[in-house]
Amino acid sequence: MIQFKSEIAKTINKITSIDENELKNYIEIPKDTKNGDYAFPCFHLAKKLKKSPQIIAEELKQKIEINPEIIEKIEIAGGYLNFYINKEKLTKEVLKEIEQEKNYGSSKIGNGKNIVIDYSAPNIAKPFHIGHLRTTVIGAALYKIYKYLGYNVTGINHIGDYGTQFGKLIQGYKLWGEEYNIDQDPINELTKIYIRINQACKEDEKILQECRDNFKKLEEGDPYCVELWQKFKKLSLQEFQKVYDMLKCEFDSWNGESFYSDKMPEVIEKLEKTGKLVESQGAKIIDLKENGINTPCIIEKTNGSTTYATRDLAAILYRARTYDYDKALYVTSYEQNLHFKQVFEVAKLLGLDEKYIKGLEHVSYGMVLLPTGKMSTREGNMIKLEDLLQESITRAEQIIEQKNPELQNKKEVAKKVGIGAIIFNDLSTNRVKDEIFEWDQVLNFQGETGPYIQYTYARTQSVLQKAQIQQIPSIETINIHNLQDEYSQNIIKQLYEFNETLIQVTEKNEPSILARYLITVAKAFSSFYNENRIMVEDKDLQNSRIYLTYAVGKILKTGAELLGMEMPEKM
């Protein structure tokens, strides 16, 4: 398909000799279509060419040789050069590509490049609560989108299955294990033990020290501690899988923190050889002040046990050697910004190729907060993610019962709508913003929501069903002159941008770009549907509009599935 931005950049390059990629990056899409399909802001060249943007625009317009098959006309608006694309060419290009390409919008841009994405990573023996929702759905969406663009992607669930909290759980189980039935209700019962032992630790320093000693014993392979830990882990993973099944979320690796327990001595050895690993108050640390980080990175605690940082450094070594990554993304909250700054800085001391250091990236996101403030497992005030999803499904079912009681497979549709609403709500806003979780907002089925996109898709399928078309007409039989009106062209332009939208998602690791795009496509179709009758006597016109409806449905479904949503055929 013709890359119109590239074509415009080439024409300007011939006149100015400025790098094509640089010029392409300057090109914008005007919000008002009256200002063209693409706009080149000439003020970017004012300094280089030592002329005013207005003069540059006028000179470029005079010198550019228009290819009428691609560009219909060029106009000047202030210091902007506005390009109007040939509608017929654009329509042909988009619809032909949609017909020929099974995976429209995919590309080979990622061929030969390896991406590792570390996401979800709940803690063993703790509830899978809504605080884990963001890392799970953001990571899963990035996983799917990178793959769609041709990258070789490895999704890793770096389970929190190691650390002092297990020393606490083991101690709590020693003290009160007989009071709790963890086999019947593992997560809830283990949570009760965890909350209780934390309270005991606050009241008695000796109990806290016993918890720390338990984790040290676990690291050293104490049979009793290892047996208990393995039991907690097995039961927890069984519970977590229920949520992953609901979210249709899969991983290529479940190597958690414990996987790196035998790989940490190499990290410590490498750091010791640099002379940077020093003792401080009984612990081993890396001082990072000269790197602009005032807080030291603790590699080994005073009792000889390891830290999150040590395990993350061991993981970097392992992933570089195993996956030869070009990018290693860590999808965690911004609360871990300092941790990853420290770890990425210390990773430079491990002797890895520069490629692996440059590829490390923390994809941070805002917290999910309750109206009363931050959630905490220790305090016991969190909403379980499974409960949230089930509640959303129930509410979706109630709405369907009110609006379309005769709908077949209501429970199946409610599940897709309810879970889709949660996923889209999370992904539709910029990931770095905090999100205050309130039921009424999350489950609002009006406006720019997941159910709106699903409903629009279902409407496209309803049109195709009413048309009683056994097979979508070939593009060769479509009269594209029937699609030159404003509402049809708004859709065509949006469909053309699908691939570019996906690329932007990976450039910024920001799934909300795709979510907002889908809203724009759905709105464009709604305007088209309201202004243009599709089922008309003129079969030539009807076929054209049906084909466009089919194209919209295809892109809405593809885009939504890349976000992790399922699309019901009827609503």
350-368 residue pLDDT tens? 999 999 999 999 999 998 7
Mean of all residue pLDDT scores within the chain: 92
- Looking at residue 260, what DSSP letter applies? G
Q: Give the integer Cα–Cα distance in Å for 317 and 339.
A: 17
Mean pLDDT of 329-358: 97
Residues 46-74: tens digit of each pLDDT: 988 899 999 999 999 999 988 898 999 99
pLDDT score for 266: 96
User: Residue 444 — pLDDT band, cuts 50, 70, 90?
Assistant: low
Question: What pLDDT is stored for residue 345 in this prediction?
Answer: 98
pLDDT at position 383 is 79
Q: Which residue has the higher pLDDT, 164 or 378?
A: 164
How much is the pTM? 0.91
Q: What is the mean pLDDT of residues 77-93?
A: 94
**Dihedral over alpha carbons 454, 456, 461, 467 (to 10 degrees):** 170
Does residue 494 sit in helix, strand or coil?
helix
**pLDDT one-digit tens code per residue, 371-383:** 766 655 455 556 7
What is the rounded distance in angstroms from the CA atom of residue 234 to the CA atom of residue 385? 19
Q: What is the DSSP string of 187-207?
A: HHHHHHHHHHHHHHHHH-HHH
Three-class DSSP category at 90 = helix
Report which secondary-structure segment, H or E, holds 538: none
Task: Using alpha carbons, list the distances in angstroms from residue 189 to 214, 299, 380, 403.
Answer: 20, 33, 12, 40
CB 187 within 8 A of CB 125: yes
The answer, yes or no, to whether residue 511 has pLDDT greater than 80, is: yes
* Average of per-residue pLDDT across 170-194: 91
Cβ-contact 38, 6 below 8 angstroms: no
**How many C-beta neighbours within 10 Å does residue 44 have?**
18
Query: What would the DSSP string read from start to end of 346-407?
Result: HHGGGT--HHHHHTEEEEEEPPEEBTTB--BTTTTB--BHHHHHHHHHHHHHHHHHHH-TT-
Q: Pairing state of beta strands 435-436 and 368-369?
A: parallel
Show the beta-strand stretches assigned E in 192-340. Answer: 277-280, 283-286, 297-300, 327-333
Distance in Å from the first CA to the final CA of the chain: 34
- What contacts 6, CB < 8 A, 6 or more positions away? 20, 24
| pLDDT (0 to 100) of residue 137 | 97
Could you give the CA distance from residue 150 to residue 542 in angstroms, rounded to a whole number? 36
- CB contact at 8 A, 340 and 409: no
Q: With 90 as the cut, is the pLDDT of residue 435 above it?
A: no
What pLDDT is recorded for position 363?
A: 98
Query: Does position 401 have pLDDT exceeding 70, yes or no?
Result: yes
Residue of 168, 237, 169, 240 lying closest to 208 (CA atoms): 168
Structure tokens at 45: 């060249």
DSSP string, 343-361: HHHHHGGGT--HHHHHTEE
d(C-alpha 241, C-alpha 235), whole Å? 10
**What's the burial of 520, exposed, middle or buried (CB within 10 Å: 0-12/13-18/19+)?**
middle
With 70 as the cut, is the pLDDT of residue 156 above it?
Answer: yes
**Domains of the chain, CATH where assigned:** 4-85 (3.30.1360.70), 114-369 (3.40.50.620), 385-563 (1.10.730.10)
pLDDT above 70: residue 442 = no
- Output the pLDDT for position 373: 60
140 phi-psi bin (left φ>0, alpha ψ -120 to 50, beta other): alpha
| pLDDT value at residue 263 | 94
Strands (E) located in 385-525: 435-436
**CA 6 – CA 85 distance, rounded (Å):** 13
Mean pLDDT throughout 100-124?
94
Residue 438 has pLDDT above 90, yes or no: no
Residue 256: its pLDDT value, please?
A: 92
Q: Give yes or no for a contact between 484 and 415, defined as CB atoms under 8 angstroms apart.
A: no
| Closest listed residue to residue 388, CA positions, set 118, 134, 139 | 134
Q: What is the pLDDT of residue 381?
A: 56
Distance CA 555, CA 103 (A): 9
pLDDT surpassing 90 at residue 447: no
- Neighbour count for residue 14 (Cβ, 10 Å): 12
The pLDDT value recorded for residue 31 is 87
